[in-house]
Structure 1
Amino acid sequence: MFFLALPAGALADIVDKRRYLVGVQVWMASVALLLTALSLLDLMSVSMLLILTLAMGIGTALMMPAWSAVTPELVDKSELPAAVALSSLGMNVARAIGPALAGVLVSLSGPWLTFALNAVSFLAVIAALLAWRRTPSAAVLPAERLFGAVRVGLRYACSAPSLQAVLARTAAFFLGASAGMALLPLIVRQALQGSAADYGVLLGCIGIGAIAGAIGLPQLRARVRGDLIVAGASAVYALVLLGLAWIHSFAGLIPVMLVSGAAWIAVLSSLQVAAQTSVPAWVKARALAVYILIFFGTSALGAAVWGAVASHFSPSLALSAAAGVLLAGIVLTLRFRLPVTQSEDLAPSLHWPQPVLDSSLDRERGPVLVTLDYVIPAEHAQAFRQAMVPVRHMRQRNGAFSWGLMQDSENPERWQEFFFDESWLAHLRHHGRVTHGEKQIEAAARRYQKPDVPIAIRHLLSAATGSRDA
């Protein structure tokens, strides 16, 4: 995930998602078939198993951003929260049922049958993708290059307050909540003196709780804001961690696990919906890749930290400390309000006038300096400067790698905004990325422009003939 999530998100944004997903599924099916054959022929070795497991992990990392990004293409925006909840529910149920089913198959015929069933499951997904009649959007400009697309995705994440709110709340929850799943096997074995079957029952309770939570989420979302749902479910999960820490009865932990599944699905679904709906289509897979990176990164870090605390002290102390971190995270992230699903129109506005490039000049040439000259009456200067702050974020998340606002020393009413795009092609892409919601941000700053005085816009190319990676 750490090495491949961002490149995978960039690839999913610049190629046809359907073909990309089919290719990844073919890769994973091939790995599963090879695992099947080597196991059946008794040719499997430890090193080969590790290599093939890594290959399967590569496929998963390449798949996840694109898989998440196609959901808005399959359902209407009004149905997106329910669709994301259903997807999260499927993952939780599969996580509970899959290991149990694999255990039965291994006991009956060995591991080869498990790998074979896995391969068949990939073939079913490939068939579903091939049956999907996706209408690709017509490409006017050449596709972005991979490393340039990764840079632009990171730049977007650093300049999009709504996405940053999602990432902050994701990190705050999973850093503490990761202790539950990480230490549950230890609790079953040490505190409960239980068996693998007991562990499976508790996992099944998590899945049942997730189902119940997913069923009730639509009604809850109709009445409560997403950030309040996340805060409330996080508090409930903190109580779950305390229950895991101090309830040493198998029967007593069953309702705790049921509640944990409902709280987990409420947080995960709400965060995924917010991540899906806070970004425009052109950068969706890259933004979701950053979300996935934070999700897995904080989960892995948290699991390692709480495992170390449990080793040096006790699992109960580690779970109690994790509950404290989870509660602290709620307080620290209260100011990060999750975006509302219908709050902003993310469709391209296409209201900028088309820039002109002399036919003798190369479209790959860059960087490009864009300047906008304003005339702002003195009494509006402070308000104009404040209104330009969201304009800066807008320029940077849509592709600008540098931005500034200058005031004329000779005539204080004259202001110049400037920003740099990586090339002329990158600037044309910048034109197509501005949304209707961002058009309002621009209008809020331009209303201070002196009446009947046009804003002068210029495009300047670097004297160098090369360009940055566009």
Structure 2
Amino acid sequence: MTAPLASLRTRWFESSPLRHAPFRLFYFGSVGAALGYTMQATVAAWLMATLTPSALMVALVQTASTAPSLLFGLLAGALADIVDRRRVILVTQIVLLIATLLLGAATLAGLTGPATLLALTFLIGAGFTFYMPAQQASINEFVSRAELARAVALGAVAFNVARAVGPALAGGIAAWLGSGSAMLASALFFTLMIVAVRGLKTRELAFPGVPERLFSGVQSGLRYARHSPAMRSLIIRNLSFSVCASALWALLPVIARDQLSLGAGGFGLLSAAFGVGAVVGALSIPRQLQRTSLNTVVTSGVLLWTIATLLIAATDVTAIALVGACGAGVAWVSVLASLSAGTQSAAPAWVRARAVAMNLVAVQASLAVGSVLWGALASVADTRVALAASAGCMVLLYALNRRVRVEMGSEADVTPAVQLPDLAIAVEPLPDDGPVLIQLEYQVAPEHRDAFLRAVHAAAPTRRRNGATSWRVFRDLSQDGRYVERYIVTSWAEYVRLRTRMTMADRELQNRVEELQRPDVPVRISRLIGVDAPPP
């Protein structure tokens, strides 16, 4: 029996991304960070309950922990794309370590009050918010594209195991040694990621030149999502699932208490069943994505969540509710981890962390808004009605979004195109000079006009998502067959970045336009820059 098990373990390891030493080091550091964070959150909630009888103050601990993801999530994504991600991870882990140590020491010294606890919890939540996009966007640097889904699934397993083990471990230490000691113990886990990233090589910036500024980087990320059909589809499916799935998250304690007539132990059982399902779902993702499309995996997860939610709503039998919670866990990770893999596979390197951050913010915003809505409905009616309504809403949103398909990105979607030749200009403008007007003039034969217009409009999103703030194609009224494509970029530095951001897929779309140009006439390109009136 031992030999077959050893052989199976060897085969699994040889096919796992963990066989790569850098990823293995990074992965175990991620497990440590997740454990430290979940332990800290658990101890903080319990500590507030011992400091004040106010239920509002206890609830504000969760708010202080999650609010930074809504406030700073997009900034965190932009920072991780602009600055070396290894440095971002290292700094955030040091912040998490110091803040948690301070909170633990203050608790042991009897100096922690509600305001201090909320302030340091908010700081810890902010540190974790800036850590997550950098951590997830870094996965692509350690594994091949073929292994990406498996690597993301391993990350989902790690986080869900940490979410199950972390609170239990924190509770045990707090009961044995006290809350302050439990807080100090949680801080030690952040050192695992500090050690891991110090052992990794610094990533060279893929796009040299003038780096983006933080807020303009956020705008670039939002512009990319707006003009990328693949990214829009991923975010829409994320939002429509999370806002409905938030009902079970928000109402699980009430389901255990009122619907199933169980105490805290019953809530723990439901949470454990959900966690087991989440691990099972994460482990099944790579095989599912090998056998079928991302869209099918996500749709199956949506349907499974609907069935599981209705099963919980319809029963007062604990065993059946546990089956439903386990199914909901499978569906939760199947949908969100698959969408995360799709995001990381479809986003080019220059905007990958921002794409990850947008999906993280979408989940947190949906949970925040949805929890209020479904909680209010449960207060007016009961949990059964709220769960059934959320399942109905899930089906309705799926029907409305049935044409919104999600797919894994291709190699061409993220591979930079062949470097464009240097610009032939007399004097290069300053980085902040602008705006820049780019004009391309085409001569198209009459029989190719319809094909040209379809091709040039298909290429328009590549201009917009890579940096253009406006785009239009014009027909010359005085010269038959002459068309002018114009787009505007806010600054010279942004135009230089636009040229480097082009992928193989973008280049292919633009080649189709140029192929319809009359062969005896070259495409004429003009670059003009805005000028202001001289001072009087």
TM above 0.5: yes
2:146 to 72, 78, 91: 78
Q: How far is 1:59 from its partner? A: 0.9
Please report how far the alpha carbon of residue 41 of structure 1 lies from its aligned counterpart in structure 2 after TM superposition. Answer: 0.7
Name the residue aligned to 2:451. Answer: 383
> What residue number does 1:455 align with?
523
1:194 aligned partner, one-letter code: L
Correspondence 1:3-402 to 2 at 5 A: 3-137=71-205, 140-342=208-410, 344-359=412-427, 361-402=429-470
Task: Give 2:238's aligned amino acid.
Answer: T
Task: From 444, 452, 456, give the equivalent of 2:512.
Answer: 444
Shift of the 453–84 alpha-carbon distance from structure 1 to 2, 3 Å rule, reads: same
* 1:259 Cα deviation from its structure 2 partner: 1.5
Mapped to 1, the partners of 2:507 and 2:429 lie a distance apart of 30
Determine helix, strand or coil for the equivalent of 2:468. Answer: coil
Residues 100, 200 of structure 1: 8 Å contact kept: no
Per-residue deviation, residues 202-224 of structure 1 (Å, max 9, x unmatched): 21112212222223222222211
Q: Which of 363-372 and 78-87 deviates more?
A: 363-372
Distance 1:465 1:334 in 2: 53
2 CA distance for matches of 1:219 and 1:27? Answer: 38
8 Å Cα contact 1:374/1:455 also seen in 2: yes
1:361-395 Cα offsets, whole Å, 9 max, x none, are 43431111110000112232222222222211100
Q: CA deviation at 1:333?
A: 2.0
Q: Deviations over 1:102-133 (max 9, x none)?
A: 22222222211221122101111111111122
Could you tell which deviates more after superposition, 303-312 or 422-431? 422-431
Q: 1:99 to 1:432 in 2, by over 3 A?
A: same
More moved, 423-432 vs 454-463: 423-432
In 2, Cα distance between the equivalents of 1:274 and 1:78?
Answer: 12
Q: For the structure 1 residues 393 and 345, does the alpha-carbon distance in structure 2 shift closer, same or farther, using more than 3 Å as the test?
A: closer
Say which SS state the counterpart of residue 457 (structure 1) adopts.
strand
Q: Distance in 1 between matches of 2:218 and 2:349?
A: 15
Opposite residue 73 of structure 2, the aligned amino acid is A
> What is the Cα deviation at residue 153 of structure 1?
1.0
1:420-435 to structure 2, matched below 5 A, reads 420-435=488-503
Amino acid at match of 1:334: R
Partner Cα distance (1:90, 1:341) in 2 = 24
Query: How far 1:338 sits from its partner (Å)?
Result: 1.3
Q: Offset at 1:4?
A: 0.7
Query: 1:352, 1:99 → 2: CA distance?
Result: 53
How far did residue 360 of structure 1 move?
6.7
Higher relative contact order (CA 8 A, sep 6+): 1
**In angstroms, what is the RMSD of aligned CA positions?**
1.7
| 1:343-367 superposed Cα distances (whole Å, 9 cap, x missing partner) | 6342111353322333374343111
Q: What SS does the aligned partner of 1:3 have? A: helix
Amino acid at match of 1:380: H
Aligned position for 2:480: 412
* Structure 2 residue runs without a partner (length 5+): 1-68
**8 A Cα contact 2:416 2:500, kept in partner:** yes
TM-score normalised by length of structure 1: 0.96
- Shift of the 35–222 alpha-carbon distance from structure 1 to 2, 3 Å rule, reads same
The whole-number CA distance in structure 1 between the counterparts of 2:311 and 2:204 is: 50
Q: In the superposition, relative to structure 1, how do residues 294 and 412 fare at CA in structure 2: closer, same or farther (>3 Å)?
A: farther
User: Aligned-pair distance for 1:426?
Assistant: 1.3
Q: 2: distance between equivalents of 1:154 and 1:360?
A: 28
Matched-pair contact (CA < 8 Å) for 1:40–1:112: yes
Q: Do the aligned partners of residues 339 and 360 (structure 1) sit closer, same or farther apart at CA in structure 2, a change above 3 Å counting?
A: closer
